[in-house]
Amino acid sequence: MDKLTQLQNLFQDMKQALIAYSGGIDSTLVAKIAYDVLGENALAITAVSPSLLPEDLEDAQIQAAQIGIKHEIIATNELNNPNYTSNPVNRCYFCKSELHDNLKPIAQKRGYPYIVDGVNADDLGDYRPGIQAAQERGVRSPLAELGITKAEIREISQKLALPWWNKPAQPCLSSRFPYGEEITIAKLQRVGRAEVYLRKLGYQNLRVRSSGDTAKIELPPEEIKEFVLKTNLDQLIAKFQEFGFIYVTLDLEGFRSGKLNEILFSQNKELKLI
């Protein structure tokens, strides 16, 4: 039995499900299969806070509409929690705790026996304290349960003709800060504006890391030369300074997902994966 069929069967057994839906390709595939199997008994909910780009929320809304699934938006307030804003290494634990403490009462009130998320099999091999918070609250992760990897998610999405099958990963904006640096709304906004500016220049797979007053641009290594040659750097620097940065740098090593956690593991070998 292929993994798509397994996923379909899993939702058939659930009868009803509420999906923690961010609009990334993982949770979008979960929402798609849930809707295909459960129809009106599937509900996708997106949590909105300053750590989510408005453009990413718009993408999530467009994708949900194309799928056909019922889609709702709620506000979360993780930035009111100093355990989150102080940006410890387990910051994501407090973010997911806030998310699922908001979703659980909705599911209970409306009769959804299951809350599911888009955690995949690859996520289990990284440091993801948010997974622990979800597990403590009884959230299920169909993709991880069935051993479905990121590559398989893209493969299944492409097979289903989902136009976003190759969409770059876009974790929350709080992931752009080194652990220990305080997260504020103003800092999130300047990072968000900077990344949107670069997207409009045609660069999609990127990060703008923030460290103090310095912005560090990360692009795939093969795009760095073109970026330097074709970008009006003076104009870019002026824009970034307008957003609130003082210094603008380019990471010559290039973008690599999970780089912050690699550094974290090198400094603390005793960290648990979840």
CB 158 within 8 A of CB 164: no
DSSP conformation class of 166: T
Distance of CA 107 to the CA centre of its chain: 22
Residue-level pLDDT at 260: 62
CB 224 within 8 A of CB 250: yes
Regarding whether 143 and 18 lie in a shared domain, the answer is yes
Regarding whether 209 and 84 lie in a shared domain, the answer is no
CB 14 within 8 A of CB 169: no
Tokens for 164?
């976003």
Residue-level pLDDT at 274: 47
The mean pLDDT of the chain is 94
Helix, strand, coil tally for the chain in percent (to 5): 55, 10, 35
pLDDT in tens, 188-247: 999 999 999 999 999 999 999 999 999 999 999 999 999 999 999 999 999 999 999 999
CB 52 within 8 A of CB 19: no
Distance CA 49, CA 201 (A): 26
> What's 9's domain CATH number?
3.40.50.620
Residue 267 in any domain: the answer is no
Residue-level pLDDT at 101: 98
In the chain, pLDDT over 70 holds for what percent of residues? 93
CB 179 within 8 A of CB 91: yes
pLDDT in tens, 26-44: 999 999 999 999 999 999 9
Where in the sequence is the domain holding 118, given as residue range(s)? 3-159
Residue-level pLDDT at 256: 77
pLDDT in tens, 113-135: 999 999 999 999 888 999 999 99
Task: Give yes or no for residue 270 having a pLDDT over 90.
Answer: no
Regarding whether 182 and 146 lie in a shared domain, the answer is no
Mean pLDDT of 14-19: 97
Regarding whether 252 and 127 lie in a shared domain, the answer is no
Residue 211 in any domain: the answer is yes
> What's 225's domain CATH number?
3.30.300
> Amino acid identity, residue 62?
I
Backbone CA torsion sign across 259, 265, 271, 273 = positive
Residues forming a β-bridge with 215: 210, 248
Residue 147 in any domain: the answer is yes
> Amino acid identity, residue 105?
P
Cβ count near 23 (within 10 Å):
26
Pairing, β 214-218 against β 207-211: antiparallel
Residues forming a β-bridge with 144: none
Regarding whether 153 and 42 lie in a shared domain, the answer is yes
Number of structural domains in the chain: 2
